[in-house]
Structure 1
Amino acid sequence: MLSFVEGSKIPRASNDTTINDWILDFVERHMDKDANPCEEFYRYATAMEEKVWRYYETCLMASEATRSPKHYLELVSPDVNLTWPQFAHEKDKWLQVDFNWLRTLAHLRRYGMENFIIRMNVQPDAKDTNKFVVNLYMPDAEKFQEADNISDLLINIGVDSSQNKESVSLDEDGFTNEFYTLAELQNRTELQLQKYLKIVFGRSFNGSFKVEVQNIKYLEGLEEILHSYDKDVVVSYLMVKFVNFIMALDGSGPDGDSEKCLDAVRFQMEHASDLLYEDHYLGTKKLEEYTAEVQRIFEAIKQSFKNRIEKNHLNLSSVDVSALKEKLLAMTLTVGILPSKANHRRFVTDFYQGLELDSEPDFAKAQLEVLKLRTLRVLEQLDGAFSKNEGFFLLYDEISNNNPVPWFEVSGNTIVLVYEMLREPVLATEGQHDVFKMSLLGYLLTRKLMENFTPYFLPYDGNGNYGEVLRSFEDYPSYKEALACLNSTQTNNLAKRVIDVVSLGIAYDAYFGEGSQFDQKQPDFTEVPLKQLFLLSIAQWFLGDAKYLDYGAADTDEVRLGQAMRNLPNFGEIFNCPTSAVLNSTDNCQVW
């Protein structure tokens, strides 16, 4: 029989609905009606809930032994017919001759570990986001300019520091993105990348296949660097990095903590989790209401920014103004991570097709199967397995953490709002005053919208393709003057300050500006004036208590909040500030 995850039990019938109606509805919602019952009755009658439950239950019930680093390494070897040297019966007889670091890297990549030594992923082509490309580049945290990058770790795993040798210095100047055929790339780097891709993707690539390379000099120096170390040192390094990657994931700890196990399902089977959240928490009616309200807020924000573009404070050319408006009007908001135009249950069922989880409670084995399937789906995007015609959908190698913030995706020119944010205190369609909707969700969405209009993302057009029209926007004298004004009190992150200041002004105008469709009546639950309440509510995002805000590297919360408020023209009037007050500024900086 079907098992149910927590919170998905059949609800009690209302007065006008019989329990039979509820049961029938539940059964039908969990059927895969595209399957032929005469051929695939299990698929027809059983949905992916069973796989979700089995993964959760395995995480909860599996013994500590099945979560140990050693057990993961027993299940994932460095190569075919090759064990890790630490597991060899006689270490001096470990088959070094059979070890190839690039092949091992490829085997580990199949489980989603993509950010070290060589970072390889599948992503939309910047100049044509309707197709995907293979991208190779230097990882964020793996820069082999100095031996110290490896030596500390090697010492920690018991490798004699005398085995460390001087590494080759890599020149990072001349950073570029260029396409190379595999044949050209192998000739320049001496790296057997055709074999690497064959292992990762499970299929062959010919020498004429083109890949996008970022910083070719890094790849050119890798082989010499890694050959300067003994093979057992390099394989130990790879082993430790893989263990670190795995053990950082939810559920990989020493015991079956229910909250961590829920997070393991939520973030490692995120598409199934979205469907469960949609079906069993939101429901069709609430989802439609919330989606409509979110879109109403987003359209108001877009209109507020459009008004600023048309006023043209920066004295832009008519071509640039048109390009900015076109880019803005084409920008969309995607609610949830599943493709909006697809049948979600069918999509998710197909997504997890092939995932088989044993009934035995071995968590490492189950987690590796989930990660392998998830990575396979990411890589399948190269073949256009998921179409934009089904609605925006993009798979990421990186596994999310417990921080449900919206994000901006340039390739789709869209903001993705995760389902977890369709709940109090961010949004509640019944009884929530508009002042809180706009100050909480509205301000957060405005921040993401403005990321699209920072110099880094400006060259991308309304379809998410890199173009030339706005490529030199940051060279505009008026734009440079506006940034200099904001930086008169020097900041650690000017781009972040621009977003702080501009987003507050746009959200404020969207709510209080001319033509606003939002309720501006003074609420009866407080005597705090509405405009003060709006700003006080936004201020909570800067106080370090809100888990939804990703601060990143920036100034202190106090500095950020102060700069945002002092550059809002109405601030002094709203709080009846004396003219001498620090935040009652008469020389507000205006970027847009």
Structure 2
Amino acid sequence: MWIICLLLVPLVAASSNTRLLNGILSHVDKEANPCENYYNHACGQYNMRHIDDTFFDIIQMLDHQVNQNLVKLMDELEMSSQLPDFNVSSVDGKVLRYYLSCRGAPRNMDSLSQYLKVISPGEGLTWPQFIPDGSSWPQENFKWLKALAHLHRYGLTNVFFNLEVVSNPRNASEYMVELNTPTFGEESQLPNSFIEILSVLYIIKVPSSEIITLARKMRTLELLLKTMINPIDTLNNRYISIRDFQMETGHNWQRFFEILIGSSAAPELQVLVRNFRYFTALKELMDKQDARLVASYIMTRFAIFLLDETMGGRESTECVSQVRRNMNLAANMLYKERFFEDSTFSANILEIKDIFEKLRHQFLLQVDQNHLELTALQMKFFVRKAEAIEINVVNLPKTDDLRHFIGQYYQDLQFPTGELDYHQEHLKVLQFRTQKMLAQSSKGHSEEQNILTYRSQAAPLPPPQPFFQLESEDVFKYSLMGYIMAHHLISAFATEGITIGSDGNDQSFRSHRFEEAVSCLSRNSENIDESMGDIAGLELAYFTYAKMAKNRNRLDFTHLPPEQIFFLNVGQFFCGNSDMLVQYKEDQVRLQRAIEGFEPFDKAFGCYRNKPKHEKCRL
């Protein structure tokens, strides 16, 4: 099943079409010619309007607004917790305790060493830098794979290898564990700057006299790992039991999985190992390494992982971000209960689903025109997959008793009573989150369908006004919410999704016309799927809206043509703070590519072109 996840936030009742339009127009630079540089026209005043804001674009703005509401909700929960009937063991109590422990944690980098004192590299071991002066570190007792198993329980991965729980490529109704080679950034998995590495080692209490030498050795170890990875060797994948995997690689994978899941692991457990030859070579490499160096590298990577997880400071908004990231199912439920009336909530859902149904209908009409010259079997494949897509509003499970379901979900997350201890409680949440993910590998989709989307990522960002407003004109709805849904609908049929059927399983797909479109897009874009979503998503959203509004030439609250409002609203989804130049330039190029050569856009703004600057790729 293909799922598009959406979240909503409540709207201010006095909102109007005029206010929405004024918000759009306030970002427009009327001096910039829309036919020459549409981004400058649609977004020219964005920087000035948001000069004092902490967010870069509309997505970050929505995130900020949601966090502000959640801070208010946490303040209310804190007041409720003073009442005698407040249940500290409820979902509300657990969320509040985690939030308060975060808010009260010390605001300094030294907290990283606190984590490392709680989490050891193995039974009876400490990390090398914590050995008392005059004592030697018992490196013969250190087993790097066991150490990684312990740290994987908290969500660490991509150290020496990557571990994920994925849909079984042979049967998408099941999950399984996938092991793969580690991924690297441009050069390293460590911080880009050598000074940053030194800083991290200093923060986690590595003796100053050892820091530079250790940092250089860790860089060398990573270089050796990179040379072992063959990106072309994609066919070297195997489904294998952990017993056979252990025999062929020489590593104790049985013990690794037992530590990871916290119980016995059947030797027959099947895993998918990608780039198998890497894992056979890994033992030879690791056997040659100094145990203290390997332990220090793992420790440093864990420290960086925790640094990313804690998101810096301990202000209220940062702590509710922590709650959303690590307890997003609970946060979504509390948000819905606090900020939505059932009638408003239901009305929003019905309207969004209606918009999507119209987008789907228009998509199927375009499929029926068969520009790609699909076979009858391929047409059936497209239609069946498009019809299987569902909208998941607010990312909550479908159940008659939401509170009971979520209470059961968090039943095993137990915090100690007494004084707050952020480090202990953060680790408990990370461990709980990881165990929920791992539990899926022993269950089918049908057993876990209510919680499929709850992984380690932050919850999807909820769109408040001006993203979607129930009472607004269709031109606002289809040009933003409609465009985003159309973008993702198209993405389900882009290069990564085109071979995946409605059952989630791979199927072969070949279309000469589709390959022509991909080839065309690749000449002007590195991210083909994103371009497909931008270009075809805009066309799908526009033609769906145009069909809805075909008998209306004007809107009663403005003299502007509705087509101009439509394209301005789409364009402003790409607006961002130009101080962040890389993102700014990418969004500028994406928007220009989407509208270039699109006849309804040219007609709306009176653009007369001999030919587009770039070839218009027909999808």
TM-score normalised per structure 1: 0.80
Q: Counterparts of 2:125 and 2:76 in 1: how far apart (Å)?
A: 50
| Structure 1: distance between partners of 2:357 and 2:537 | 15
1:75 matched to 2:118? The reply is yes
2:371 matched residue in structure 1: 313
- Matching of residue 160 in structure 1 with residue 200 in structure 2: no
Alpha-carbon distance change, 47 to 66 in structure 1, aligned in 2, over 3 angstroms = farther
Distance apart, 1:343 and its partner CA: 2.5
Which residue of structure 2 lines up, in the alignment, with residue 589 of structure 1? 617
Q: What fraction of aligned residue pairs are identical, expressed as a percent? A: 27
CA distance in 2, matches of 1:526, 1:441: 21
Mapped partners of 1:99, 1:204: distance in 2: 22
**Structure 2 SS opposite 1:249:** helix
Paired residue total: 526
From 505, 514, 525, the equivalent of 1:465 is 505
Deviations 1:81-101 (A, max 9, x none): 111111111365111011011
Q: Secondary structure at the match of 1:425?
A: coil
2:236 equivalent to 1:205:
no
- Given the alignment, which residue of 593, 605, 608 partners 1:578? 608
> What is the root-mean-square deviation of aligned Cα atoms in Å?
3.5
Distance in 2, Cα, partners of 1:261 & 1:151 = 30
Gaps in structure 2 of 5+ consecutive residues: 1-69, 202-210
Corresponding position of 2:395: 337
Distance 1:242 1:527 in 2: 58
The aligned amino acid for 1:304 is Q
Distance 2:191 2:111 in 1: 28
The AA in structure 1 aligned to 2:213 is: D
**How has the CA–CA distance of structure 1 residues 533 and 147 changed in structure 2, closer, same or farther, with 3 Å as cutoff?**
closer
Pair 1:479 & 2:537 matched: no
Query: What residue is the counterpart of 2:485 in the other structure?
Result: 445
Deviation at 1:123, TM superposition (A): 2.3
Structure 1 segment 273-292 matched on structure 2, within 5 A: 273-292=331-350
Correspondences of 1:423-434 after superposition (within 5 Å): 423-430=464-471, 432-434=472-474
Q: Which amino acid aligns with 2:388?
A: A
The amino acid that maps onto 1:447 is H
Partner amino acid, structure 2, of 1:482: A
The structure-2 alpha-carbon separation of the partners of 1:190 and 1:150, relative to structure 1 and needing over 3 Å to count, comes to: farther
Check whether the contact 1:110–1:376 (CA below 8 A) recurs between aligned residues.
yes
- Note the C-alpha offset of 1:293: 1.4
In structure 2, distance between residues paired with 1:60 and 1:518:
53
Residue number in structure 1 paired with 2:543: 509
Shift of 1:387: 5.6
In the TM superposition, residue 324 of structure 1 has moved relative to its aligned partner by: 0.6
In the TM superposition, 1:259-274 aligns within 5 A as 259-274=317-332
Cα distance change on mapping 1:146 and 1:426 into 2, 3 Å? closer
The 8 Å contact of residues 121 and 397 in structure 1, kept in 2 or not, is answered as: no
Question: Is contact 1:59–1:251 with CA below 8 Å preserved after alignment?
Answer: no
Length-normalised TM-score, structure 2 = 0.77
SS at match of 2:424: helix
Amino acid at match of 1:379: L
Deviation at 1:523, TM superposition (A): 2.9
CA drift of 1:383 comes to 2.7
Is this contact kept in 2: 1:179–1:213, CA < 8 A?
yes
Which has the higher relative contact order, 1 or 2, with Cα contacts under 8 A spaced 6 or more apart?
2
* Alignment partner, residue 436 of structure 2: 377
Separation in 2, partners of 1:553, 1:319: 41
1:439 touches 1:535 (CA, 8 Å); kept in 2?
A: yes
Q: Secondary structure at the match of 1:211?
A: strand
Name the aligned partner's letter for residue 500 of structure 1. Answer: D
Residue 410 of structure 1 corresponds to which residue in structure 2? none
User: What's the CA shift string for 1:207-230, capped at 9, x where partnerless?
Assistant: 222111111122122222223321
State the SS of the aligned residue for 2:386: helix
User: Gaps spanning 5+ residues in structure 1: where?
Assistant: 12-25, 28-40, 406-419
* Distance apart, 1:141 and its partner CA: 2.4
- Return the offset for 1:360: 1.2
Tell me which residue corresponds to 2:252. 192
Deviations 1:142-175 (Å, cap 9, x if unpaired)? 8999999999987663152685578373251321
1:392-431 paired onto structure 2 within 5 Å: 392-395=450-453, 397-400=455-458, 404-405=460-461, 420-421=462-463, 423-430=464-471
Classify 1:228/1:441 alpha carbon distance in 2 versus 1 (closer, same or farther; 3 Å): same
- Residue correspondence of structure 1 range 17-36 to structure 2 within 5 A: none
TM-superposition CA deviations, 1:290-347 (whole Å, max 9, x none): 1111111111111111111000011111111111111111111111222223522112
2:509 aligned partner, one-letter code:
S
CA distance in 2, matches of 1:519, 1:95: 81
CA separation in 2, counterparts of 1:248 and 1:424? Answer: 30
Q: Is the 8 A contact 1:267 1:399 kept in 2?
A: yes
Distance, in Å, in 2 between the alignment partners of 1:554 and 1:259 is 25
Cα gap change, 1:307 to 1:155, in 2 (>3 Å):
same
Q: Residues 122 and 193 of structure 1: is their aligned pair in 2 closer, same or farther, counting only changes over 3 Å?
A: same
Instruction: Quote the Cα distance in structure 2 between the aligned partners of 1:324 and 1:54.
Output: 48
Distance 1:484 1:112 in 2: 38
Q: Which amino acid aligns with 1:167?
A: L
Check whether the contact 1:492–1:554 (CA below 8 A) recurs between aligned residues.
no
Structure-2 separation of matches of 1:483 and 1:312: 17
Aligned pairs for 1:30-49 within 5 A: 47-49=90-92
